[in-house]
Amino acid sequence: MQRYLLKRLLIFFPSLVLVTLLCFWLAASAPGDAAQQAIGIGEDQQSSNSSLAEYLALRKKMGLDLPLFYFSISNAALPDTLYRIPDSKEREAMERMCETTGLPEAVALYRHKLSMWRSEALENVNAAPLDKINELALEGDVNRSKRILDGLAADTCAWAKQAVVLRALLPLKSTQPYLHFLPVLRWHGLNNQYHRWLAQIATGDLGVSYQDQRPVAGLLIEALKRTLLLCGSALLISLLIAVPLGIYTAVHAGSRIDRGISGVLFFLHAIPNFWLASMLIVFFCGGDYLDVFPAFGWSSLDADASLWSRVWDAAWHLLLPVLCLMYAGLAYLARQVRGSMLAVLPAEFIQTARAKGLSEHAVVWRHAFRNSLLPLITIIAGMLPMVISGSFVIECLFSIPGVGKLTYEAVLARNFPVVYGSVLLVASFTIVAMLLADLLYAWADPRISFSSQQKGGADE
């Protein structure tokens, strides 16, 4: 059993690393800039030296001036320092210029001079038209940038004129065209964004929320308590109802009761949970009909209320959300229990147990149900992350401050650390659930093992 657990753990950790790679790829591919989101400015607001200096300092503090990964693959026409350019448009323009000219050193000199001239111009000049000229110059549209220059005062755009002249001096054709087809593997070492992010995750640091500057780990833990209570209650009630219901319909297969229950289960499984939640809010939460249940929130009592009052109030608030999360899983699980039992009941060992004079209750629960557990373990283990992900919509509809509502609000606010932390949390739950399923396999059927000793014994 220990060797079995060790080998499953060796599979668990690489899977978790793959999840972190996926989350990091999402973070790197997302639009916008983390430093801009953190200080609450947009690309068009970096119009002064003070705001630009603050932005660059924060970007360096967050490690955004580091390479993305341990290595990168590009062509030989591109320098290995493009990741240091903070502005995405400027970075793309520099990349195009390097590929066009084949002279990364000349392009780097152009950018350096352009940055100095722009820094001087931003002290007393509105940079909006100047940035447009800069963008056109970077793209190589010298004629159009000159036309914009003619409409500006000469003393306000000397740096832009110099930028246009300097850009015109760069060759328009590559002097080394073969560099485009020469792949280059560049090793950046451990000082990269992914390694830094992974080291923070290993210590439980998921970053800081852009909205309220609170640690993401604390926000997720606080929201996870409510989500686990909501989803755990729904899953527990589903199991308590679905397992006896599935066994009963399997034992009485073909009867009117079986056909009636199966029809109801098919109907429940086909109802979307967001539609049912909307209907329950309209009919039972103070709409045009009844006002029986609270429509929104987690609790309506103060913190100084008695424990029993707060528990009862929370249960009253969670009744409808639990119902919306429970019914689909109940229908699916009951159908799976019925199918597994129908596959086991005709087996010879069940007939032998009945021939020995065992009661029908002992035959069904002690022999048939235990031997039908293996396919059910996979289903039950996979239902927890499914219920958690399905609770996102329910939490938003009922305004329950759980992981789902927190993630939804973070997506709307482009609060990416919270989004990535939520994705990592749900993915980790899925991996842990699969690990628990493997352990339950070994408990339900001791013959399941990956040890070579037991394999050799089986071969003998």
Paired tokens of 213: 């500057």
Classify strands 183-187 and 71-75 as parallel, antiparallel or unpaired: antiparallel
CATH 1.10.3720.10 occupies which residues in the chain? 216-459
Q: Please provide residue 454's backbone torsions phi and psi, each rounded to the nearest 5 degrees.
A: -70, -30
- Identify the DSSP state of 152: S
Distance (Å, whole) CA 220 – CA 131: 41
Q: For the ranges 77-86, 143-152, 196-205, which has the lowest average pLDDT?
A: 143-152
Distance (Å, whole) CA 134 – CA 43: 14
Question: In the beta sheet, which residues pair with residue 71?
Answer: 187
Distance (Å, whole) CA 368 – CA 243: 13
Fold of 216-459: MetI-like fold (1.10.3720)
Q: For the ranges 10-14, 269-273, 340-344, 455-459, which has the lowest average pLDDT?
A: 455-459
Write down the pLDDT at residue 245: 92
Whose structure tokens read 């009945």? Answer: 354
Better pLDDT: 325 or 457: 325
Distance (Å, whole) CA 411 – CA 418: 8
Q: Is the pLDDT of residue 17 over 80?
A: yes
Write down the pLDDT at residue 113: 67
Q: What tens digit of pLDDT does each residue of 23-70 get? A: 888 777 777 677 777 776 555 444 455 667 777 888 888 888 889 899
Mean pLDDT, the chain, integer: 77
Better pLDDT: 97 or 158: 97
Write down the pLDDT at residue 297: 79
Write down the pLDDT at residue 294: 84
Supply the pTM of this predicted model: 0.71
Q: What tens digit of pLDDT does each residue of 206-263 get? A: 888 887 888 998 999 989 888 888 888 888 898 899 999 999 999 888 888 989 988 8
Distance (Å, whole) CA 58 – CA 63: 9
Paired tokens of 311: 């528990």
Reported as a pLDDT band with limits 50, 70 and 90, residue 459 is: very low
Which H or E run contains 187? Answer: strand 183-187
